[in-house]
Structure formats: C-alpha cells, structure tokens
Structure 1
Amino acid sequence: MNFGFKDKTYVISGVANKKSVAYFSAKILSDEGAKLILTVQSEEHKEKVKKLFPESQILILDVENAAAILEFGKKIEELGVKIHGFLHSIAFANYSEGIKPFHETKLEDYLQATNISSFSLVSLSNALKTSFDNNASIVTISISDTRATSYGYMGPIKATLDATVAYLAKSLSLDSRVRCNAVCAGPLKTSASAGIPGYINNYLFAEKLTLRRENLKTLEVANTIAFLLSELSSGINATGIKVDAGMSCNHFDNDVVSIVANNL
C-alpha cells in the first residue's frame, strides 16, 4: 500500500536499535520515500542510529532539558521544511530497585518518568508547532491496558499519556488541523521491554491470551503507526487504537483458566 510518504518530512524519536518500534516505523517511512529527522539522547546513540539511517538527519535531544527542547524547535524552523508527522516513541522508568508495590513509588522516579514518557509529547509538539504542516499527524506509543499492566508505576503514567493525547489534539485544533493519536500496543519483544523486571513471564503469558495464540509483532504496531501518520487516517483524531492481537478481550481464555484451576 502507498501511504503517500514520498518527499514528506517526519520527525521520529526513540529509534534505539533494530528491535524498537521507532526503528520499524522509520524504516517503513524511509522505504516509502520519506525524509526523516531523528532525535537521539547522546553522541554515542547518534553514531549507532547513523548506521541504521545514514541518509537521515540526526539531532541530539535531552527531553528533560527545557532549553534543549526550545533549541530543537528552532533548529527545525531553520531547516525551512514542513513537518508532516511526528512519532513520539519515548518512555523511561527507573527499575533499578526492581518493581515495587505502587504505594512505595518514589516521587522523584514518578515525576521523571512522567516528564519523559508523557509530558515530552506536549513539550516536543509545542516546539514543532510552527513547523508542522497544517494537516500533520502526531502519534505516540501507549500500552493496551493501563490498569492491568505489571510494569509498576508506568501504568498510571501511560494512562496520563492516553489522556494527554485527547487534550493535545483539542488544543492543536484551535488553529490547525494537526491530529494526535496513540497506538496502544500489547507486549512486544524489544530491547526496552527486556529491561523490565519479570517481563519475559508477562510476554509468554500474553501469547496465551492472544486470539491467534501468537504474540504481537513489532512490525504490526509499526504498520498501524504508519497508517496514523498518513493521510489515509485523516478522520482519526484524539484516539487510542488498541493493537494487541485480541488479548484485551480474552482475559478468561479457556485454556489458561483450566491450567490455573487444575493447579490449585
């Protein structure tokens, strides 16, 4: 399918390696002829991403630094190009002490994770606002169920991100047609998820709950992102699209229930 990306420019955050959602998404856009501006965290990170997308412009950006975000917006303006879409694929949680009960969450950890994983969607969109094409599309990455997650305090933060999508979409609609949506993905096999304590067990369990008995592929999430970044999805705004191979409707799968019941 032709998404209509040829010769259009997109800002992509979060390309880490060939397993990341952002990488798969950027690859689709690049293969369709899009021009990419990628943001990375450090010089070392930049060198790694340059090998993946040697033709793309790569900018170092610390999303915890308000001045750096303003400077980023100015750099994009100076390029004199219209941005047709922005993929926000950034998340962080401090699991250095393992996953604790939610009531034991440290305020500093919660605020840092909220800033990086949720509010950066707002701050980066604001920095890009003057460079957006009037019909630009913003997409962020959430999770399929913010209440059932076992990722510690990231559940409430992703719920904040989901709410932010709608408010950002409404705010941007005051003087543009820029859209903002989320892809709410089920468990994926990525390097980032591998850093979550106990994740592999959750991943294996999730596979049993998908209706096809096969886990979600990162490319499937990226395909949905590409659709939302394209004008093919022009009627979708302020929405979270769940991509989880049917897992969310199958909490009481007969086989899984039987396994648990037979081992009581």
Structure 2
Amino acid sequence: MSLLDLKDRKYLIFGVANRKSVAWAIAKALEAEGAEVVFSVRSEARKESLGKLLGDRSCHICDVEFPDQIKTLADSIGEKEGPFDGIVHSIAFANFEAGFLPFHETRRQDYLQATAISSFSLAEIANAFKSSLKQDASVVSISISSQVTAENYGYLSPIKAALDSTSRFLAKSFSADSQVRFNTVNAGPLKTSASAGIPGYLENYLFAEKLTLRKQAITTQEVANTAVFLLSPASSGINGQGIVVNQGMDLNYFDKEVVKAATRP
C-alpha cells in the first residue's frame, strides 16, 4: 500500500474552470494515484467548454449560488455515485464590474453574493452531502496564504478569511458524529486564468516571488499536491487547519534584496 493510499477512492471536485485551475491539477494528481474523480461545474456552458479536457469523466452542473441546486446535486448523485472519500471546494467569485473600489465602498449586494458563493457554499455543500461522505472523508478548500490587504484583490480577502473560519467550524460541527475532516490550503499568488483578470496582479505576483525564500513563485501543482495529501488518509491527524503553501513569503518581509530595491533612491 502506498503512503497516500488513494487507489479506488472517489472524490467530488467543485471548481474546475480550465486546465490551469488548481482544481484540475488536484484531479489529475488524484487520478495518477488511482483515485476516481467526479466533477461539478457551475453551468452548461462551462461543461461544454471543458468537454475535451474532461472527456468521458462524470461531470454535473451546480451553481452553488443557489442552494436548491446544491441539494438537487446531492440528491441525484449521492447514492448513485457515492459514497465519497472527499470533496474539494475550489470556488471563488466576486463581482468587480464597478471596478476595484476602496473596501469601505463595497456594495452590500456584491459582498453578500461573493460570500454565498465563495464561503458559505462550503457549509451548504457539506450539509447536503453529509450522508454521502464516508465516515472518515476529507473536505479540502482552496484559500489564500494570508489575509493581506491587497487592494486589487478587493473584498475577496475577508471573504476568504470567512472560508477559513467556515472550514474550522465545520470540522468541529461534524466531529459530533463522524471523523470527517475539514482543512484549507492557503496558497500564495499563482498563475491562473482567474488571476490574470485582476488588474495589477502581475506586479503583485512578481513582488511575492521576490519575497519567497527560494526566489521562485509557488506552482499550481505544489498547491494541488498539498490538497491531495490532505485528501488522503496519510493526513488523518490534520483537522480544522489552514496549511500555508507560499514558500515562506509571509515570513520574509525584510529580505535584503527586497528592502534594498524598495528603499533605493
């Protein structure tokens, strides 16, 4: 038996957008270890766009903004395709059509919508699929590495903080009658299609890379590998945690090269 012991296990993954997605990297790594993956995407259009990528893999539609769709998905595949050894929540959405406003100007409707999709959906998914999870299943969410006040990340930073907290409270709640574990992977800046649409992201990405201890940005695969470990029985002692994957970026503020560049006349 391998350390990860993933052969013949089954996982449900929410959030694949394209081949650059963290969710897709997780899926491929799980499959490489012998696991089976079931996918859920937000719309028929997204499913069609992923046709070549997913091939004949099981893929379902569920827009987590709408609780009834989460319940319908759980009812339709829970017994048919479950029980599941784990779930991956790799979902984030924010409406920035008004531009990147100062946080105090955030519109209530935008904040609440983003919270429902990016954070509270984890609780709704966990509740809907509770009976379709194995007793020792693992639920992993993709978050960010630190609650920094990045202006161009807008109000998603406090919402990601809410996701982290939601995961911890689910770990406690589920512990009353199961051994299901909830953890987050708190990733540093990545090169993904979603990040490419954030104004000024490239500059932030390059700055973050300079802050890493190895002077090289983390990769999507490194984040995915951590998630796969958390999904496996090898991580059975980890619950209610946020595992930071950022190559020491948040510890290295006073790196001499960065300080010199920032203070140079």
Per the TM superposition, whether the score is higher than 0.5 is yes
TM-score tier, shorter chain, comes to over 0.9
Equivalent of 1:246 in 232, 235, 248:
248
CA contact (8 A) 1:189 1:218 kept: yes
Which letter maps to 1:253? D
Which letter maps to 2:189? P
Find the counterpart in structure 1 of residue 158 from structure 2.
156
Displacement, 1:2?
A: 4.9
CA contact (8 A) 1:147 1:156 kept: no
Find the counterpart in structure 2 of residue 3 from structure 1.
4
CA contact (8 A) 1:50 1:56 kept: no
Aligned residue pairs, count:
263
Among the aligned pairs, what percent are the same residue?
54
Establish whether residue 18 from structure 1 lines up as the match of residue 4 from structure 2.
Answer: no
Alignment of 1:102-251 (within 5 A): 102-150=103-151, 151-251=153-253
User: How far apart, CA to CA, are the structure 2 residues paired with 1:233 and 1:74?
Assistant: 29
User: How far apart, CA to CA, are the structure 2 residues paired with 1:20 and 1:251?
Assistant: 28
CA contact (8 A) 1:50 1:58 kept: no
Displacement, 1:61?
A: 0.3
Q: Return the TM-score normalized by structure 2.
A: 0.96
- Deviations along 1:79-128, one digit per CA (max 9) or x if unpaired, are 05210000000001112222111101000110011001000110011111
Which letter maps to 1:21? V
Displacement, 1:55?
A: 3.5
User: How far apart, CA to CA, are the structure 1 residues paired with 2:49 and 2:182?
Assistant: 29
User: How far apart, CA to CA, are the structure 2 residues paired with 1:153 and 1:66?
Assistant: 23
- Deviations along 1:108-156, one digit per CA (max 9) or x if unpaired, are 1100110010001100111110000000000001111113433111111
Unaligned runs of 5+ in 1: none
Displacement, 1:48?
A: 2.7
Displacement, 1:162?
A: 1.1
Which letter maps to 1:5? L
Establish whether residue 67 from structure 1 lines up as the match of residue 60 from structure 2.
Answer: no
Which letter maps to 2:25? F
Find the counterpart in structure 2 of residue 34 from structure 1.
35
User: How far apart, CA to CA, are the structure 2 residues paired with 1:253 and 1:82?
Assistant: 48
